[in-house]
Each structure stands twice: as structure tokens, then as C-alpha cells.
Chain A
């Protein structure tokens, strides 16, 4: 009996201590609005996500647990249209048209973030490439990213039909979130191993080498694969054109026939 009483007192003490010390996260004034957002998010979640990720985000055989993935993961997955996925079958879930408004995504993110702490959505100054070190970004990209996404972020193949997507035209915010959260089979690059500044440099590098107004030094980029694809192109189309010209020259007679 005494043991039970001690246990109860200890539990009460720890609970009290926890509620006193635990981070509140938001100022008191925001609390009502915040919980309203979370409620809205939960409503959206139960319509669009719960069938695979479970009613409380605990995960099922069709989808992983979302506890602790953070708001950044939700913002990335939903805003790029990867979630909600049509099916969990197939090699990997592709990017598609996003059907949620940014406000709805924020509500979903708030709900998921309330399930467990995880990376939050980056602010614009975190991912804005202005003033970042492009050369350093290139070095970091080649060390950490180029093995899958290709030297200039054009994407590449992985095992069993999986692939690393082309990064052209991807919102810098989503690139930042992908590095932070590691969607699907991509490993994550948390701030502890790839600092905020590093991430910004990488985004600036991609903006310089793989955007719509990137200046290609040699004209056609040919997928940025380097000398192999360029050599193949020269052999097939360059030599092909020369052979076609030779055939055309030889097929026309210079003789003056009176017909």
C-alpha cells in the first residue's frame, strides 16, 4: 500500500514538474487561435490522410507514423502534391498537382506538429538564395547531393524504379524542407550536420546552375550527365548528319543527261 502511495505521489510530482518546465511553444494570447488551427488541421487530416496514416497519425501498414515528422515535412509533402498519395504501391510516390491551399497546408502542418516536435517550416530568410556563397554551395552539393541528383541537380536513377527527381523549378522552400526532413528514401541533412548557412548556399548553387535562366556554357545541356551523353550525342547526331550529307551529295548526279 505504501509503495502505491509513494508511486502516486512521485507520478504527480513528475507530472507537475513537467507541466511547469515543458516548453509552451506559443504565447498565451495565440493559444486559442493556435488550437483552432490544430482543430481545423485535424478535420482535414481525418478526411485526406487518416486512411493511411491512422486516425491519430500513428501510422498503419499503408503509411508511416507522422508523430515527430514536423511541420516542414507536411509542408513539403502536401505542397508538392506528393501527399495525399493515390496509392502506397509503386516504387515511389511522384510529385503531382497540389490540391490544398497554403492555409489548409498550414493547418495540417500545425496538427501534425502538435503530435510531436519536429522541424518547423523554414522562414523566407532561411531559404532565400540572395547573398549566399554559390561556390561553397556547389562544393556542398557535390559532396552531399550530387551522387543521386546529378552534378547540376538534373536528377538520376536509384534502385528498383526509384529515382532522385530533377530539382529545376522546385521552390527553394521545398528544397530546404527536403534537406531537413528527408522525404521518402532521401536521407535527411539536419542542421546539426548541414548548417542553415550550408543549406542556403546549396539553394543558391541550384538557383545558379539549374533554373530557367541558367546560362549553359555549351548550349545544349543534354541532362548535365557530362562527357558520356555528350559523346553519344556527337556520335549519333554529328556523324549521322555527316553521313546524311555524304549520301545526299552522292545521290545527285552531276551528269547532263538529255532525257
Chain B
């Protein structure tokens, strides 16, 4: 809105120049308070027609917001949840989510935009000075409050009736104990749970994909397989707790390529079984590169060399991945020859 289309009679005759000034800067007082700048009118302050237009604009925004809210309700009811639409730069998307998001966003945005336009064009824009006063109470008020307190203490007889006072202190002191007691629910302490997994001697290695026990011939060089201990089923109550410790990553490396003597000894003809849990903060780690035999953790880029005892070659992990010693049972299936020899997953104080 430019000032050109305002009728001349509606413009103020002249602006007061010395509006609100309380001092003039000079030699003695170089930082005198200049007061408020002269107030300038808005178009809406001096042209009632402009004010009407602003009023209609604000009302229009609030009305459109109402329409958007109604549109939200209508789309919630009317659009099937699996309907897809094509929106040009984004692609195929869910029509219901798109309609809900758009209408909800518009409804909120138009309330805000209307309020801003209202405040800027129609609400008073006169600047006001609000004087500040000292915060502290006057001495007579202070004296009265203290006198009232002393009188209250005297009338309650807290100094005279010592039994009441002492038992009250006792009650108040004991009460927080119930809260402290509830902290016990943080326990009990894990005991040896961090040191043991479901693996034990003779447990078969079961393929996570097929739920069948693995044979050495199933695992070819360069392949990657995930295994769980025999007897652990996905619908078991304890499944998540147990698989979080027992998850295994099985790869086969040419025995000549295995640099670590113990790793070779604990493998079966180059089939090695390592914990899938990163020793840094326990992310599942299985970004296995079959040519380099490196395993990368997606969380903090710890890298382990599976051909060299899974030692850490990069990143924040503090320990090599624990290896599970495996062999083959009488029926030709891969089996564990015991539990992990060290705790799996992240370090803890008492880990040793």
C-alpha cells in the first residue's frame, strides 16, 4: 500500500517534531535521553477505507483457516488410507497423509498470518513508556511482614510444644524415604548376565533366514550368514533380550588367509563365528566386505578385521569382536563348543 492513493484530507497536517523528548544532548550531558521518535501513522490509522480492507483481509485469513480445518476433517473421513496420488516434484505419495498435512499446516499458518496482519495494521501502534520502580519493599512493609511471622510462630506454639515440633520434623524427614525405596526398581544388579549368552556346548547354529541348523557345506567362501542358538524362537518372550547377546555373524574365509592362530583353531575349516554386537556401544554390526574381510559398524565406523581375530583396525571400539568356538557334531551340523570366552557387546566397569 503506497501513500500515493491516500486522499490529501486524510493525511495529518503536520508531524510534531519534539514528541516526547526529555533532554537535549550538550557538553554536560552527552547521552541525554532523546525520548521517543515522532509517531508516524499507518495508512489504516488515517484512511478508514484502508482499515476496512485490512479488516477484511484478516477476516479472510481466519475464514480460510476454518475452511482448512473443515477440509482436514473431511479428508480424514473421506480419503481411503491406501489411496496414492502423484504430486509433481515429490512423486507418488499417500493421498490421506498429504491432505491431512496440507490442511493442518494451512489452518495453523492462516491463524498466525491473520494475527500478524491484524497486529501490524489495525491494533494500536503507539509506543508507550512504562516507568520502572525499585524492586525492594519499603521498610514499613518489611517490618510488618516480619512482625506477622513472629506472631504466627508464637501463636502456633511451635517453640513451646516440643513434642509436636519434633514429631513433625521426624515425619518430614522420613517421608522422602518412600521415593528412595522406589529406586530399587532400577535393579536388581545384572549379576553375571553380561558375561553369559544362550550359547553353550553342543547348541546348534540355526540360520536366521530359514530357521534350519547350518551344515558346513551351506556356508561358502565369501558368503555372510546370521545365526541364532538352537531353541530360541522369535515368538519367545525373551527373544529380544537373548538375541541381543547371542546374535552371530558367520563367514567363511580360506584357512590360508586367516592370520590369527586362535581364530583358525576356533573355526571349522575356515568357517568363523563372531558376535554381531559391536564392542563400542552395542550396535548390530554386519557391514561385511568379503574381499577385505573388514566389518564396519554403521554407528561410529569402528572397523574389525575378521581375518585377524576381528581386531579393531579403525574407530572407537575398545575390544576385538568375541569369537564363538565352533565345531561339527556327529550328524554333520555346526555346533557351538561353549559360550563366548569374554562378555559380548560394549565394555563396562567390571568387565576386566
Distance A148 CA – B291 CA, assembled complex (angstroms): 15
Which residues in chain A, 130-145, are within 8 Å of chain B measured between CB atoms? 140, 143-144
Taking a contact as CB atoms under 8 Å apart, the answer to whether A259 and B3 are in contact is: yes
Taking a contact as CB atoms under 8 Å apart, the answer to whether B287 and A148 are in contact is: yes
Which residues in chain B, 176-198, are within 8 Å of chain A measured between CB atoms? none
Which residues in chain B, 38-80, are within 8 Å of chain A measured between CB atoms? 40-47
Taking a contact as CB atoms under 8 Å apart, the answer to whether B101 and A194 are in contact is: no
Taking a contact as CB atoms under 8 Å apart, the answer to whether B116 and A249 are in contact is: yes
Distance A218 CA – B90 CA, assembled complex (angstroms): 10
Taking a contact as CB atoms under 8 Å apart, the answer to whether B42 and A140 are in contact is: no
Inter-chain contacts of A164 with B (CB < 8 A): 287
Inter-chain contacts of A189 with B (CB < 8 A): 223-225
Taking a contact as CB atoms under 8 Å apart, the answer to whether B92 and A215 are in contact is: yes
- With A147-B298, A158-B287, A216-B94 known as contacts, the answer to whether A193 contacts B225 (CB < 8 A) is yes
Distance A211 CA – B185 CA, assembled complex (angstroms): 48
Instruction: Tell me the B residues contacting A by CB distance below 8 Å.
Output: 1, 3, 6, 11, 40-47, 84, 87, 90-94, 97-98, 101, 116, 120-121, 125, 207-210, 214-215, 217-220, 222-226, 251, 284-292, 294, 296, 298, 301, 303, 314
How close is A148's CB to chain B, nearest CB, in angstroms?
5
Taking a contact as CB atoms under 8 Å apart, the answer to whether A219 and B287 are in contact is: no
Q: Interface size bucket, A side?
A: 35 or more
Taking a contact as CB atoms under 8 Å apart, the answer to whether A143 and B226 are in contact is: yes
Taking a contact as CB atoms under 8 Å apart, the answer to whether A147 and B220 are in contact is: no
A182 is an interface residue with CB less than 8 A from chain B: yes
Taking a contact as CB atoms under 8 Å apart, the answer to whether A256 and B296 are in contact is: no
- With A188-B220, A193-B223 known as contacts, the answer to whether A256 contacts B288 (CB < 8 A) is no
Taking a contact as CB atoms under 8 Å apart, the answer to whether B6 and A193 are in contact is: no
Taking a contact as CB atoms under 8 Å apart, the answer to whether B290 and A190 are in contact is: no
Distance A185 CA – B92 CA, assembled complex (angstroms): 33
Q: Which B residue's beta carbon lies closest to that of A189?
A: B223
A220 is an interface residue with CB less than 8 A from chain B: yes
User: Mind listing 15 A-B residue pairs with CB under 8 Å?
Assistant: A143-B226, A147-B284, A147-B286, A147-B287, A184-B291, A187-B223, A192-B218, A193-B219, A193-B225, A194-B209, A198-B209, A215-B84, A218-B97, A219-B87, A220-B90
Which residues in chain A, 87-141, are within 8 Å of chain B measured between CB atoms? 140
Distance A143 CA – B227 CA, assembled complex (angstroms): 11
How close is A162's CB to chain B, nearest CB, in angstroms?
7
New A-B contacts (9) at CB < 8 Å, excluding given A158-B289, A259-B3 = A144-B226, A159-B289, A187-B223, A187-B289, A189-B223, A193-B218, A216-B94, A219-B97, A219-B101
Which residues in chain A, 160-192, are within 8 Å of chain B measured between CB atoms? 162, 164, 182, 184-190, 192
Chain B binding surface SS class: mixed
Distance A184 CA – B207 CA, assembled complex (angstroms): 24
Q: Which A residue's beta carbon lies closest to that of B225?
A: A193
Taking a contact as CB atoms under 8 Å apart, the answer to whether A256 and B3 are in contact is: yes
In-complex Cβ contact of B209 among A140, A158, A182, A186 (8 A): A140
Distance A184 CA – B291 CA, assembled complex (angstroms): 7
Distance A237 CA – B261 CA, assembled complex (angstroms): 54
**Sorted from nearest, which 6 A-B pairs have the closest CB atoms?**
A187-B224, A192-B218, A185-B289, A215-B84, A256-B43, A187-B290
Inter-chain contacts of A35 with B (CB < 8 A): none
Distance A215 CA – B96 CA, assembled complex (angstroms): 12
Distance A57 CA – B43 CA, assembled complex (angstroms): 86
Taking a contact as CB atoms under 8 Å apart, the answer to whether B92 and A213 are in contact is: yes
Distance A117 CA – B48 CA, assembled complex (angstroms): 92
Inter-chain contacts of B314 with A (CB < 8 A): 159
Q: Which A residue's beta carbon lies closest to that of B301?
A: A159
Taking a contact as CB atoms under 8 Å apart, the answer to whether B101 and A257 are in contact is: no
In-complex Cβ contact of A216 among B46, B90, B218 (8 A): B90
In-complex Cβ contact of A187 among B90, B120, B209, B222 (8 A): B222
Q: Which A residue's beta carbon lies closest to that of B296?
A: A159
Distance A147 CA – B6 CA, assembled complex (angstroms): 67
Inter-chain contacts of A214 with B (CB < 8 A): 92
Taking a contact as CB atoms under 8 Å apart, the answer to whether B292 and A185 are in contact is: yes
How close is A140's CB to chain B, nearest CB, in angstroms?
6
A229 is an interface residue with CB less than 8 A from chain B: no
Taking a contact as CB atoms under 8 Å apart, the answer to whether A192 and B220 are in contact is: yes
